[in-house]
Each structure stands twice: as C-alpha cells, then as structure tokens.
C-alpha cells in the first residue's frame, strides 16, 4: 500500500516518476503526487483519485527538475483529498511516506505549539515539519534525518527531498519496504524492484531501521545505529516491460486465465515427477521433528492457510493452529520452542503478517514462508522460503497467487507427511500424480467461463449472497464470499455448510442466492443435506460440483456449474476458478472497477 519512487537523475524526472507510479498504482489509488526541485524551489503537482488525474495535471502544468519524488496513496489518516496527497512539503523539504506514524498526534501538537502550520490531516506531515525544523536551524540533511528518525513511532518508508540540496535524496525504512536502485549516473529509491524495473535492475534492499543518502553516483547506507553499512546489490530480474492485460479486459481476468500455467510453473519446483516425489528447498531443520504448525496470514492467503490446515492434519497428522495475523500478534499465543510457524503472503510485505513472523521468531519458532516475491522482507527473514511462481499479480483481488499458494502448501503437506512416516512411496506417487493433473483440470474449469458469465445476472442483483462448503471446501466458500465482496461490493458470507442451521439459515429467502461448493466425494451427501435445508426454505441455490454431483443433486437448483471430476486433494485449486470467475462476471455486470476496487489496495504494508 502506498507506492514510493524517487530519482536523482541526469535529465528531467517527472515523466519517469509518473511511469514508476503506474507500476505502483495497484498499491493505492486514493491520490498521487510528484515533487521536484527546480530553480531553487520545491515544486509539486498533486491530484485526488486515480493516476490519470495527476497525468492531466502534469500535461497542463509540466514539472521540470532532475531530482524528484512521487507517491501513490492508500489513505490511512485523512480523507483521500488533494490536500492530503503526498508529497507533503514545507519551503525546505518535501517527502513521501508509506506507513503510519503512530505518535503523530503528540508530534503535531508539539509542532503546532512551536508555531508550525499544518496543511493536511495526515500523520505524514509531521515528518516534513520535523525535518524542516532541523534544516531551518542549520542542520545538514543527513543530521536532520538522523535526529528525526528516532522520534518516529510506527512504520515508515520515506523519501525526502531538500530545496537547498538539488543533488541528494534521503530514504529511510522501518516496517515498510524500500529499495535503492543503481543506474548509470543516476540513483533511485522505490517501494519495490518492479517500480524501478525500467530504470535499473541493480537493487539493494534496505534492512529494518536503515536510512540512505543517495546522490546521482552514490548511495551511502546507515543502519539504525547510524553506522555506515553495505547492503548487497542484487540483479532483480524483474522485466522492464510494462505489465499489460494481454487480450483481457482486466488484470484480474488475465490472472485468472494464467492459473494453469503459473500453477504448473510453481509445481515444477516442488515435484520430482520422474522420481514420483515431492521435494522442498534444502532446510537446516528436520521436518519430521515438527510437533505443531502455526499458520498465520491475512485475507485470501489466510484461506489458503485454512485449506492447508485440513491437509497437514489429514496427511501428516500434525496439529495445526491458524490465525489471522492482526489477531495472532496481540493475543500472546502459546508457541512451544521448535514449532514450525508458517506465514503466507503474496507480497511478502504484509505488515501484520511480517510483524507476526517477527513475534514467532522471537519465540524460537522455525519460520517458513510462502511468498510470491522472493526478495521480500518475509523471504529474507525466513528459515525456509517456499516461493510461489505466480509472476506479478496486479489485480487487487488475489487469484493466481492464491492457487499457487495452494499448490505449494499441498507439496508441503506431502513433505511433512513423508517426514513423519505417514506417507508410503505409493501414496506419495499418487499425490504427485494428482497435483500434476491440477493445471489441466483448472483449464477445464476455465472452459466454463461463458456459462458463468451468462448466469452472473442471477447474483448481480442480490444484496446478500451466501457461500457454503464443507471440509477444505469451507475455506473456498470463505474465499468465494471475499472475492465477491471485494470487487462487486455485494455483501457475502461464507459458512461451513453444517453451520447454517445454527443461525445463518434465518437469512434465507428468495433474494439471497446461495452458492454451494460441493465436489462429489466423502462429504458430498452431508453438504447436499444442508443445501436441501436451504432449498426447503425457498433458498435459490447455485451448485458448483462435478457431473456426478450435479446429476445427484442439481435438480431444483437455480443454476449449476460443472467442474471436472478431480481428486479431493486438488479440488480447492480447481474450484477456485469458478468462484473467481463468478465474482469477476458479477462485478463486470455491475460495472465496478474490477482491478482497483474502492477502498482497497494491494501489498498491505500498514497495520
């Protein structure tokens, strides 16, 4: 959330900053802004709403200057207005910020008492004033930043520009990500390597508490104790080409369609098909000694974790605790030394999950992470990195990252089971075979796209929708409801099918579509009984099942969506597809902004 980019350049920077913001817009689209230094003064252009508004501003009033900073905002403090848009500035400094300054109220009061005037309601503006105050007192930029950083509580990635020093930028990070990019006679700051991809591939990742002074030709990094430090420069490998939608109308559609390929790509690094074995990257602990697994994640990643709980317990017979990261951190969980704590996050930067990871690490847990960005903070802090190979996910509603997470988690479940002596070679071969079948089955699921599109109107008019599932299909019900909420703004809830009669069935009338996720198999009849309880009360059901399930229970349903018959292990990967497509087509039918739904943003780097 919130994207930052800064350039100390040879030529004018505004166009390139805008291009960088385009790559970061998925992180926030409440407002955007750019500041440069030109002719001895700080110049700014800012605009409320999507980036197109800022682009128009810049067309009307171009911004010269060879040094600049830029920001795309997901508001935490203060409404999404132009006045609250970053960069925030005084006469002397301008800065952009990703994170939350938790003690901003106290700092603001202090600054107001000293006669400073505020132009915004943001937490961020206090930092501009604190740095500016020190500069006005005669401090150098380095001294000013060094003095101010310890006063800030909370989380920040900052890029700071100084009116009187048109040759340097200062960056700092604590909690939120920030990278340094090394160019040819230019130096950059960015929230991630993707933002800098067209400018450079040479990237250094700042560590927690680091701050950095960059000029056109140098980057001097200091740690939290202000000691000069070196951070390794890596080649990011992220493509400079603008990520595009291909033939699709939305990134989300493209990403749904990419799933068979990226899941296959992900599985390739976890399956040894010739040997009929699942395999994980090398680790320096014994998986067979793990007595308890604690899974922590947020949102869609949490639902992937919930599916994994079923798998780990069923196959490996290891007890699993699971919690959303924002709860886990603050409930003082009991963590026995030697337990495996597993964190799942697309970006690897999710603030709550990262903080939970650090908490678990401090409690002597072995840290494993499933992330889509192998250079992310979580990846760098893990004992065991289990990457997904989904490629950049731009649609705010997660799709391909989710199914790739499931693929990795299935492989981890099998590894855990083998390490525990719970999986014979034949059973392992069977798992490898079923997982290898998943991409083709997902392709088959995609072939029902047109039918799902044609039935979207059945759901699009609803105010409330319920999703039901049992066993590993229960998290899929939760995920289905979340997808629908996120992009179509229809209120939806996922329930364990058996829970209906304990309350939610009171909601049933003929205006509440009920989506039932029920592959034929051991739990099918139980789920169908719950479905019939709904139908008996006038509920309108959409049944997602295979041909056998639909033949058995499809009669009387408002609609059915037929999936290929698959092994229960891969059902969540396959059934994710219709659930995503349904949400997508409902949102398109309603005319909402599918890729940038209101109030949301990707890569949730604030608490």
For the bound state, the minimum distance from the C-beta of residue 439 to ligand HGA, rounded and expressed in Å, comes to 34
Regarding 606 and contact with ligand HGA (CB under 6 A), the answer is yes
- Does residue number 33 form part of the binding site for ligand HGA (CB under 6 A)? no
First to last CA, the chain: 11
User: If binding is defined by CB under 6 A, does position 345 make contact with ligand HGA?
Assistant: no
In the DSSP assignment, the letter for residue 376 is: S
Is 5 or 518 the residue whose CB approaches ligand HGA more closely?
5
Tokens of 261: 């390929």
Site for ligand HGA in 399-418 (CB under 6 A): none
Cα 475 to chain centroid distance, Å, stands at 18
Residue 504 Cβ, how far from ligand HGA at the closest point, in Å?
34
Task: Kindly provide the residue ranges of all beta strands, DSSP E only, lying in 142-239, ordered along the sequence.
Answer: 154-162, 169-174, 179-182, 187-190, 202-205, 211-214, 219-222, 228-229, 233-235
In angstroms, what is the minimal distance from the CB of 6 to ligand HGA?
A: 15
Distances in whole angstroms, Cα of residue 308 to Cα of each of 269, 320, 497: 19, 9, 19
Does 292 contact ligand HGA by CB under 6 A? no
- Mark whether 404 is an active-site residue: no
Name the residue nearer to ligand HGA (CB basis): 78 or 374: 78
Q: How far is the CB of 30 from ligand HGA (least distance, A)?
A: 8
Contact 518, 473 (CB under 8 A): yes
If the CB atoms of residues 541 and 600 are measured against ligand HGA, the closer one turns out to be 600
Residue whose CB is less far from ligand HGA, 293 or 396: 396
- Tokens linked to 162: 């100084």
Are the C-beta atoms of residues 576 and 544 closer than 8 Å to each other? no
Closest CB 600 distance from ligand HGA, rounded Å: 11
Length of the chain: 607
- From residue 68 to residue 107, what is the string marking binding to ligand HGA with x (rule CB under 6 A)? -----xxxxxx------------------xxxx-------
Structure tokens at 111: 């600054």
State in angstroms the smallest separation of the CB of 460 from ligand HGA.
31
Name which of 100 and 544 has its Cβ closer to ligand HGA.
Answer: 100
Rule CB under 6 A: say whether 438 interacts with ligand HGA: no
Contact 1, 60 (CB under 8 A): no
Which residue lies nearer to ligand HGA by CB, 97 or 585? 97
Distances (CA, A) of 331 to 112, 309, 326, 327, 355: 37, 20, 9, 6, 13
Catalytic residue, candidates 254, 400, 540, 602: 602
| Shortest-Cβ-distance residue relative to ligand HGA | 1
602 is catalytic: yes
User: Mask: binding to ligand HGA, 165-204, rule CB under 6 A, as x and -?
Assistant: ----------------------------------------
* β-sheet bridge partners, residue 600: none
Q: Does 29 bind ligand HGA (CB under 6 A)?
A: no
Q: Cα-Cα-Cα-Cα dihedral of 365, 367, 368, 372, to 10°?
A: 150
Q: Which stretch binds ligand HGA (CB under 6 A): 67-75, 342-350, 513-521, 560-568?
A: 67-75
> Cβ 206 to ligand HGA, closest distance in Å?
16
Closest contact distance (angstroms) between CB of 22 and ligand HGA is 18
Q: Is 602 near ligand HGA (CB under 6 A)?
A: no
Judge contact between 111 and 129, C-beta under 8 A. Answer: yes
Report CA Rg, the chain. 25
Task: Give DSSP secondary structure letters for 33-90.
Answer: EEEEEETTEEEEEEEESSHHHHHHHHHHS----SEEEEEEE--SSS-SSSTTPSPEE-
Of 503, 500, 509, 438, residue with least CA distance to 467:
500
Cα(53)–Cα(44) distance, integer angstroms? 14
* Shorter beta-carbon distance to ligand HGA: residue 99 or 480: 99
What is residue 583's DSSP assignment?
H
Establish if 126 lies at the interface with ligand HGA (CB under 6 A).
no
Select 124 or 520, whichever has its Cβ closest to ligand HGA: 124
The CA-based angle 281-287-289, given to 5 degrees, is 160
Q: Which stretch binds ligand HGA (CB under 6 A): 119-127, 128-136, 301-309, 477-485?
A: 119-127
Assess 124 for contact with ligand HGA (CB under 6 A).
Answer: yes
Residues 578 and 452 sit within 8 Å (Cβ to Cβ): yes
- Site membership for ligand HGA, residue 384 (CB under 6 A): no
129 contributes a contact to ligand HGA by CB under 6 A: no
- Rule CB under 6 A: is residue 2 a binding residue for ligand HGA? yes
Q: Which of 66, 415, 530, 605 binds ligand HGA (CB under 6 A)?
A: 605
Helical segments of 336-424, H only: 351-362, 377-381, 400-419
The token duo for 188 is 């950059």
* Site for ligand HGA contains 123 (CB under 6 A): yes
The kind and range of the H/E element at 530 are helix 524-535
Question: Of 148 and 445, which has the nearer Cβ to ligand HGA?
Answer: 148
1 contacts ligand HGA (rule: CB under 6 A)? yes
Q: Nearer to ligand HGA by C-beta: 132 or 580?
A: 132
- The residues annotated as belonging to the active site are 2, 602
Summarize as ranges the residues that interact with ligand HGA (CB under 6 A): 1-2, 28, 73-78, 97-100, 122-124, 605-606
């Amino acid at each position: 959330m919130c994207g930052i980019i800064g350039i100390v350049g040879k030529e004018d920077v505004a166009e390139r900053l805008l291009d960088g913001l385009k790559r970061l817009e998925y992180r926030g689209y409440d407002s955007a802004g750019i500041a440069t230094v030109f002719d001895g003064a700080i110049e700014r252009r800012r605009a409320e709403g999507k980036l197109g508004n800022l682009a128009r501003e810049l067309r009307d009033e171009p911004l010269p200057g060879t040094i600049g900073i830029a920001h795309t905002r997901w508001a935490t403090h203060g409404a999404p207005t132009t006045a609250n848009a970053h960069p925030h500035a005084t006469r002397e400094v301008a800065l952009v910020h990703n994170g939350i300054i938790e003690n901003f109220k106290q700092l603001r009061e202090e600054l107001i008492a000293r006669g400073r005037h505020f132009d915004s309601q943001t937490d961020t503006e206090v930092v501009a004033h604190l740095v500016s105050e020190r500069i006005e007192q005669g401090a150098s930029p380095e001294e000013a930043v060094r003095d101010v950083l310890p006063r800030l509580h909370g989380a920040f990635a900052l890029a700071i520009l100084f009116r009187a020093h048109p040759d340097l930028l200062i960056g700092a990070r604590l909690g939120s990500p920030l990278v340094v990019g090394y160019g040819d006679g230019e130096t950059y700051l960015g929230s991630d390597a993707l933002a800098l991809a067209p400018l450079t591939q040479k990237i250094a990742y700042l560590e927690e508490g680091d701050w950095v002074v960059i000029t056109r030709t140098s980057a001097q990094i200091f740690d939290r104790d202000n000691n000069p430090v070196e951070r390794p420069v890596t080649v990011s490998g992220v493509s400079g080409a603008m990520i595009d939608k291909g033939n699709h109308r939305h990134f989300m559609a493209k990403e749904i369609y990419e799933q068979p390929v990226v899941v296959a790509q992900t599985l390739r690094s976890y399956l040894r098909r010739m040997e009929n074995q699942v395999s994980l990257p090398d680790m320096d602990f014994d998986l067979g000694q793990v007595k308890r697994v604690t899974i922590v994640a947020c949102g869609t990643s949490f639902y992937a974790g919930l599916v994994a709980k079923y798998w780990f317990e069923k196959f490996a017979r290891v007890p699993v605790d699971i919690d959303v990261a924002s709860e886990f951190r603050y409930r003082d969980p009991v963590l026995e030394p030697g337990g495996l704590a597993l964190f799942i996050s697309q970006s690897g930067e999710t603030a709550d999950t990262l903080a939970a990871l650090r908490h678990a690490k401090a409690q002597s847990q072995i840290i494993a992470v499933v992330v889509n960005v192998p250079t992310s903070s979580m990846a760098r802090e893990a004992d065991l990195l289990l990457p997904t190979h989904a490629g950049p996910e731009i649609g705010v509603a997660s799709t391909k990252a989710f199914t790739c997470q499931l693929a990795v988690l299935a492989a981890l479940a099998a590894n855990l089971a083998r390490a525990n002596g719970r999986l014979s070679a034949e059973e392992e071969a069977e798992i490898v075979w079923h997982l290898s079948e998943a991409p083709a089955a997902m392709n088959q699921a995609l072939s029902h796209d047109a039918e799902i599109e044609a039935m979207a109107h059945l759901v699009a008019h609803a105010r409330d929708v319920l999703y039901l599932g049992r066993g590993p299909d229960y998290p899929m019900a939760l995920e289905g409801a979340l997808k629908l909420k996120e992009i179509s703004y229809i209120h939806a809830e996922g329930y364990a099918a058996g829970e209906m009669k304990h309350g939610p069935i009171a909601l049933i009338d003929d205006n509440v579509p009920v989506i039932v996720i029920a592959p034929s198999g051991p739990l099918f009849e139980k789920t169908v009984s719950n479905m019939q309880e709904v139908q008996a009360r006038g509920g309108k059901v959409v049944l997602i099942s295979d041909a056998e399930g639909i033949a058995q229970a499809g009669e009387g349903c408002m609609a059915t969506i037929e999936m290929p018959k698959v092994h229960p292990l891969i059902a969540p990967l396959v059934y994710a597809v219709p659930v995503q497509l349904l949400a997508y087509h409902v949102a398109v039918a309603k005319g909402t902004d599918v890729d940038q739904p209101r109030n949301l943003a990707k890569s949730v780097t604030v608490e």
